[in-house]
Amino acid sequence: MKKTALVIMAAGIGSRFGKGIKQLEPVGPNGEIIMDYSIHDALEAGFNKVVFIIRKDLEKDFREIIGNRIEKLTEVEYAFQSLDDLPEGFVKPKGRTKPWGTGQAVLCCKNILSEPFVVINADDYYGKEPYVRLHDYLVQEMEENTEKLPICMAGFTLGNTLSENGGVTRGICQMDVSGCLTGIKETKNIIKTKDGAAVERPEGNTAVDVNAKVSMNMWGLTPAFLGELERGFQKFLENLEDEEKQEYLLPTIIDGLLAEGRARVKVIDTNAQWFGVTYQEDKKAVAEAFKKLIAQGVYQEKLFL
Going residue by residue through the chain (305 aa), what tens digit of pLDDT does each one get?
Answer: 689 999 999 986 444 434 456 667 789 999 899 999 999 999 999 999 999 999 998 888 889 889 999 999 999 999 999 999 999 999 999 999 999 999 999 999 999 999 999 999 998 999 999 999 999 999 998 877 678 999 999 999 999 999 888 898 898 999 999 999 999 888 999 999 988 999 999 888 999 999 999 999 999 999 999 999 999 999 999 999 999 999 999 988 999 999 999 999 999 999 999 988 777 778 888 999 999 999 999 999 999 86
Which of 275, 258, 274, 278 lies closest to 266 in space, CA to CA?
258
**At 41, is the secondary structure helix, strand, or coil?**
helix
Domains of the chain: 5-156+216-242+268-295 (3.90.550.10)
Side chain identity at residue 231, one-letter code:
R
- Residues 207, 197 contacting (CB under 8 angstroms): yes
Side chain identity at residue 148, one-letter code:
K
Helix (H) or strand (E) holding 52: strand 49-54
- Residues 284, 165 contacting (CB under 8 angstroms): no
Query: What is the pLDDT at residue 39?
Result: 97
* CB under 8 A, 24+ apart: contacts of 81-85: 81/11, 81/53, 81/54, 81/55, 81/105, 81/108, 82/55, 82/56, 82/108
The residues facing 206 across adjacent strands are: 199
Which stretches does DSSP call E strand in 166-247?
A: 168-175, 181-193, 196-199, 206-208, 213-221
pTM check: above 0.85: yes
CA distance 148 to 8: 25
CA distance to 69, 228, 236, 279, 303, per residue, from 233 (Å): 34, 8, 5, 30, 39
- Residues 198, 190 contacting (CB under 8 angstroms): yes
Q: Residue 201 gets which letter from DSSP?
A: -
